């Protein structure tokens, strides 16, 4: 699940990278590590996608737009004792960063 980019635009100090580290660490602390299929590109090809780079970016954006707060709420509020407002602020910042088009994220 770790976000990455082929063109090195996803730097360690981005909001997205920070969010991922927080979520990953929190679920590890709760003994529920994230499970993720690493061959996303192959899965997309087998489903008929052709322009994988562009389609993967759209998929990633939709996944975050629709589920980032739900995915973040329990790990950040239970494991780090964050207030829901703090979690929502981080998620909002990450969404804004993803939509800025300054990052090229790969699957």
Q: What pLDDT digit, counting tens, does each position of 1-23 carry?
A: 566 666 666 666 788 888 888 99
d(C-alpha 43, C-alpha 90), whole Å? 30
56, 4 Cβ separation under 8 angstroms = no
User: Span 65-70, mean pLDDT?
Assistant: 87
pTM: 0.65
Domains of the chain, residue spans: 15-99
Three-class secondary structure of residue 75 per DSSP: helix
- The tens digit of pLDDT for each residue in 27-62 reads 888 877 666 556 777 877 888 877 776 666 677 677
Q: CA 48: distance to chain centroid?
A: 23
């Amino acid at each position: 699940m770790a976000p990455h980019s082929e063109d090195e635009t996803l730097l360690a100090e981005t909001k997205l990278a920070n969010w991922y580290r927080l979520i990953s660490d929190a679920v590890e602390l709760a003994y529920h590590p994230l499970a993720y299929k690493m061959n996303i590109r192959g899965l997309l090809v087998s489903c008929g996608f052709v322009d994988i780079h562009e389609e993967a970016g759209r998929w990633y954006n939709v996944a975050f737009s629709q589920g980032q707060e739900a995915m973040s709420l329990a790990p950040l509020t239970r494991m780090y004792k964050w207030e829901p407002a703090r979690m929502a602020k981080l998620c909002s910042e990450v969404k804004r960063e993803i939509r800025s088009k300054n990052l090229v994220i790969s699957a």
